[in-house]
Amino acid sequence: MKSLSHFLFGTLRGRLIVGVAVVHAVMMALFITDLTTRQRAMLLDRQIEEATALSQTLATSAAGWIAANDLAGLQELVEAQRRYPELLFAILADQEGRVLADTDKSRQELYMLDLPGEARQTVLTSTPELVDVVAPAMLGGHQAGWVRVGIGQKKAGKKLAAITRNGVFYALAAIIIGSLIAWFMGHRITRRLYAVQKTIAAVRSGNRLARASLTGTDEAAVIAQDFNQMLDVIVTRDAELREKTEELDHYFTEALDLLCIADTDGYFRRLNPAWEATLGFPVSELVGQRFLDFIHPEDLEATRQAVSLLADQKEVANFVNRYRHINGEYRWIEWRALPTGQRIYAVARDITTRKLMEDALRQSEENLNRAQAVAQTGSWYLDIRHNKLTWSAETHRMFKIPREQPLSLETFAACILPEDRAMVLKAWDEALQGAPYDIEHRILVGNETRWIRERAEIRFDPAGKALTGLGTAQDITERKQAEQNIALLSFALNSVSEAAFLIDENARFQYVNEESCRILGYSQDELLGLGVSDVDADFPAEHWPDHWKELKTQHSLTFEGRHKNREGYIFPVEVNANYFEYAGQGYNLAMVRDITERKRTEEALRKSEEFNRNILATVDEGFIVVGRDYRILSANKAFCDMVQSSADQVVGRFCYEVSHRIDHPCFDSGEECAVRHTFETGIPHSANHTHENAAGVKQYVELKSFPLIDASGTVVSAIETISDVTEKRKLEEQLQQAQKMEAIGTLAGGVAHDFNNMLMVIIGHAEIALRQMAPDQPFFADLREIRKAAGRSAELTRQLLTFARKQTVTPQVVDINKTVEMMLKMLRRLIGEDIDLAWLPGAGIWPIKADPSQIDQILANLCVNARDAIAGVGKVTIETRNEIIDETYCADHPEAVPGEYLLLAVSDDGCGMDKQTLGKIFEPFFTTKEQGKGTGLGLATVYGITKQSQGFINVYSEPGQGSTFKIYLPRHAGKSGEMPKESATTPAVGGHETILLAEDEAAILNMVKQILEDFGYWVLAASTPREAIRMAKKHSGEINLLITDVIMPEMNGQELAKNLRALHPELKSLYMSGYSGNVIAHHGALDEGVNFIQKPFSMQAFAAKVREVLESK
């Protein structure tokens, strides 16, 4: 099989045969395929025509039967079609596709689903198995139904298979015949070529003289002739090559350079003898070795990369590496290599000596550059004739010009600061004439100005023409800055007001400024020859080492000392010593200030502060200094006492911690902060706060803050004064309450006065009318009710006057226990049987001076209120005792006055009162009772009586805990008197005396006149005081009594009585008024011997009073 395969595909003859056979096979395959396709299409078309014709014929025959729905006839018609060859089925159906007749009767009554959408004949399917055709059955132009015919293709397939077999047979025959023809033609064509092949084989075996012996003019003969000529040329060229190879071998052997042939896989293949001289290894030992094994480890990677590039790029490569000598040292080898196929041809050279020289030169250059960098000095060389400038690395760095940039004299000139450029170029021109070149100037390096110093040496030719210049450029910027700094520092030190001393570790002066010379009285040279112990009285030489050691450790010390000037005068100084090291040597820069004036000021300030502290310690007002962080910087004794802490416990803490006892600023809670306002505005401010002391007692304080401002106008701290105004607040509240009560009293008194006048008219006329009317008259009862109502109104006005302390009373010396005991029976009836009345009289009770009727009012009002406060069963207690009120008690009760008092206390166990109610109980018309059950004047009356008696009242009550009213009445110095016995009421009688009546109210004047006249008196009525005086003057007879209103225009009643007594010395007086003010009574109490009747009054009371005064002696 291998021989056949070689023949067919490995020889020209075989490939020719195979090619012809393949061409024939392809052509025949195409022919047979086309023939089969054409035959199949023709047979299929024929069957479709037959099936179509059959379906049309059947449709024409069956149309009438379908229309008549003759199923039997249709089935016979279908059965008759079985005679048609290869008929698979024949189907007749109605218009909807329902099968009416079928060669397969089982499909009757089924429906055909794949009919065309309209009445037309079409081939439903055409496959290798059958041809399926459907046609409409038309009758009279209308479709009656459908006809469907299916014809098989087996017979046509057989015909087609036979045609295909014949085609394949003919194709194989054609291929075989073509292959035979190709074999014959190939043999004829290749026979002469085989002769040339034999000649080639002979030459290959070494017979260089073998030649092809073909004749003729065909292609094979031409090839043979050309081959023979080629062999002749090869022989000639081979001889020439042998000669050149011998020359190359001689060159290879004798060459001084290292020649090498190596593989790309890293092995030496051939080396010349120079390798042995260079590396010491025999060439025979090197050949076949991996050259990478001889390379320095540091060069291995670079060499591998170079070999890889040679293998990939096929280009000449130059590289350097180190090879190991037989003695273990390494030699530097420079390579030039060229790849050819898998070989590398390279020429190398030992450059070890050159490398050492280059390293030495590079090291020298590096050392020079390093030295120039350290010295900040660069070098330059100028070829003057060609204007070519060369700079060292340091010079490039100094000027910041890239090394690759070409340089010239103009390049250098462009770097010079414009202000210095003319000066430098002038110096250079002078140097070219032989002058020395040594100059300092500025250059621009970017945006920075630098100072450099240039020095140069110019070389001239014999004719004196400048050839080259060699110079240096040194960066002296730091030196210039140092010189400027030294000059500035020296100027600054000489300008300051402090003395400056630079002192070494031996306590000797190395530098002194002008101020030090001034304060000590020495010249600078004289001071530089002295030391610390010569001018400092506190630093003898033996103390200096310890001071120096401490200064060296602390680096900075500030202390006070004493200096001595040239004349021996010692003065105080403040020394600020600062240690530093320079050039390995320690120094002390001491700044010294003469503090003589400061010491004097401090002493004065100390005395002033001590004086201020003494003052602040004595004031009772709190005083603190608060810093910007709200910490207390200072506090006086009063403040410490106020917060019950010592100064050490207060100073340094936040002010709100101490005063408010909270952990956050008071203004965070919305409270106004005077100190904060002062810090923000720089002006004084005040505020009121509520604090709690250590015991938790609430205090009211008044705060005032004042700014402390430094020289720049900044508020650095604030002074805050704290005043405890708790007592002041209480007094203010009590004053406000008293003023309110006084205002209410004044209003009530004024109203009562006017009201009494009106009631006087009502009562008087009502009583006059009642006297003139029989009891059985229709209006008698109405008039009596008017009289009663007016009486009750009069009682109300009396209570108002009592509250306002305008009620005129007749005080007496009273034993309070007897007064209470006389009231007990009435009080028990007043409070009822369900409430127990306890009477606790004190022993040895002091007497008081009061109107007994007012004491009765107090007891009645308090007991009634106690009764109303008790729901159901309860207890009321009345007690008396002596009390001494001292200053301590008065401190908590500002309404009290120190002294001896009688205490009358009324207590109950009723519902009690809250604080809001307690604040209003003494106000007129204030009541907690239901409407119609109280006037609101009961406690107001109690309050008025107590105040009118120079006493005070305290109330203690809490909701659900009952109430206690404590009334303090001042002790009377005399003994108690007997209570006057009530006289039996006697009917009023009249008389015939002459009475002068003075009243500014016309209605009252007329009514009183009528009453007096009804009782038989002769009345002179005057509406003004002056009119009364005129009438008294005109009246020739005796005037027995003056009845006058107290308050009138022109003059009051007392003044009128005084004027009239000048005319009638025996004239008696009776005063009447709604309230009298202080005209005839002091604090509401009548002066002794004064006759008074309170408006409104009844006719009987008035007549009895008039008779009483007339009959008095």
- Binned at pLDDT 50, 70 and 90, residue 68 comes out as confident
Helix pair 1002-1014, 1099-1111: axis angle to 10 deg: 70
State residue 805's pLDDT score.
46
Beta-carbon contacts of residue 580 (< 8 Å; ≥ 6 apart): 555, 586, 587, 589
pTM of the model: 0.33
d(CA 255, CA 243): 18
Mean pLDDT along residues 66-80: 84
Mean pLDDT on 978-1007: 73
C-alpha span between 727 and 697 (Å, rounded): 13
What local confidence, expressed as pLDDT, does residue 904 receive?
92
Q: What is the DSSP string of 161-194?
A: HHHHHHHHHHHHHHHHHHHHHHHHHHHHHHHHHH
DSSP-assigned states of every residue in 90-112: EEEEETT-BEEEESSGGGTT-B-
Whether pLDDT at 408 is above 60: yes
Task: With a cut of 70, say whether residue 187 has pLDDT above it.
Answer: no
pLDDT in tens, 855-901: 887 888 888 888 888 888 899 999 999 988 887 777 677 778 888 99
**Tally of CA atoms within 13 A in the half-sphere of 678 that contains its CB:** 26
Using CA atoms, how far residue 858 sits from 745, 816, 836, 906, in Å, is 18, 12, 19, 10
Backbone angles phi, psi at 560, to 5 degrees: -105, 145
Residue 808: pLDDT above 60? no
Instruction: Give the number of residues written for the chain.
Output: 1113
Q: Are 742 and 1074 in contact (CB under 8 A)?
A: no
Cβ-based neighbours of 682, under 8 Å, separated by 6 or more: 707, 709, 715
Helix axes 219-254, 154-204, angle to 10 degrees: 50
Identify residue 240 by its one-letter amino acid code.
Answer: E
CA–CA distance, 161 with 164 (Å, rounded to integer): 5
Q: Higher-confidence residue: 171 or 336?
A: 336
Distance of CA 408 to the CA centre of its chain: 62
Q: How far is the C-alpha of 1100 from the C-alpha of 1019, rounded, in Å?
A: 18
- Cβ 1048 vs Cβ 757: under 8 Å: no
What percentage of the chain has pLDDT greater than the value 90? 12
DSSP letters spanning 576-589: EEEEEEETTEEEEE
pLDDT band, residue 608 (cuts 50/70/90): low
Q: Is the predicted pLDDT of residue 979 greater than 60, yes or no?
A: no
- Give Cα separations from 321 to 269, 314, 1110 (angstroms): 19, 20, 161
pLDDT in tens, 359-395: 877 777 676 667 666 666 888 889 988 888 888 888 8
Report which residue type is found at 709: I
Residue with tokens 């060069």: 299
Which residue in the block uniquely carries the two structure tokens 């008092």? 901
pLDDT in tens, 538-589: 778 888 888 899 988 988 998 888 899 988 888 998 999 999 988 788 999 9
Nearest-angstrom CA–CA distance, 857 and 847:
18
Per-residue confidence at 841, pLDDT binned at 50, 70, 90? very high
Q: Which amino acid appears at position 913 of this protein? A: M
Neighbours of 70 (CB within 10 A): 16
Q: Greater confidence, 448 or 242?
A: 448
Give the residue, 932 or 73, on which the prediction is more confident: 73
Work out the pLDDT band at 297, boundaries 50, 70, 90: very high
Angle at 357 between CA 355 and CA 360, to 5 degrees: 110
HSE at residue 313, side-chain half, CA atoms within 13 A, is 11
User: Scanning the structure block, which residue is given the tokens 């890239």?
Assistant: 402
- In the predicted structure, residue 112 carries a pLDDT above the cut 90: no
* Contact assessment for residue 133 and residue 149, using Cβ atoms and an 8 Å cutoff: yes
54 closest CA partner among 159, 145, 132, 111: 132
- The pLDDT tens digits for 703-752 are 889 888 877 788 888 888 888 777 777 766 666 666 666 666 666 666 66
Hey, how many other C-beta atoms are within 10 angstroms of the C-beta on 713?
7
Structural domains present in the chain: 12-169 (3.30.450.20), 255-350 (3.30.450.20), 376-480 (3.30.450.20), 496-594 (3.30.450.20), 599-722 (3.30.450.20), 816-976 (3.30.565.10), 994-1111 (3.40.50.2300)
Question: Other CB atoms closer than 10 Å to residue 583's CB: what's the count?
Answer: 5
Using an 8 Å Cβ cutoff, are 146 and 68 in contact?
no
Would the pLDDT of 144 be above 70? Answer: yes
pLDDT band at 1079 (very low <50, low <70, confident <90, very high): very low
- Indicate the helix (H) or strand (E) that contains 702: strand 698-709
Omega of the bond leading into 1096 within 30 degrees of 0 (cis): yes
Look up residue 934 and give its two tokens.
């109280």
Query: Is residue 170's pLDDT more than 80?
Result: no
Bridge partners of 122, per DSSP, are 134
Q: Is the pLDDT of residue 1083 over 90?
A: no
CA 1024 to chain centre: 86
Q: What is the pLDDT of residues 664-682, one digit of tens each?
A: 888 887 788 888 888 888 8
* CA 930 from centroid of its chain's CA atoms: 61
Residue in 610, 658, 662 with CA at minimum distance from that of residue 633: 658
Residues 6 or more apart in contact with residue 550 via CB below 8 angstroms = 557
Higher per-residue confidence, 122 vs 762: 762
- pLDDT given for residue 758 in this prediction: 77
DSSP 322-389: EEE-TTS-EEEEEEEEEEETTEEEEEEEE-HHHHHHHHHHHHHHHHHHHHHHHHTEEEEEEETTTTEE
Contact present, 723 and 702 (Cβ < 8 Å): yes
Instruction: Give me the helices (H) in 870-898, please.
Output: 887-892
Write down the mean pLDDT value for the chain: 81
CA dist 256 and 1064 (Å) reads: 179
Q: By three-state DSSP, how is residue 681 classified?
A: helix
Question: For residue 489, is pLDDT > 60?
Answer: yes
Rounded Cα–Cα distance for residues 67 and 61 (Å)? 11
Whether residue 492 is predicted with pLDDT greater than 80 in this model: the reply is no
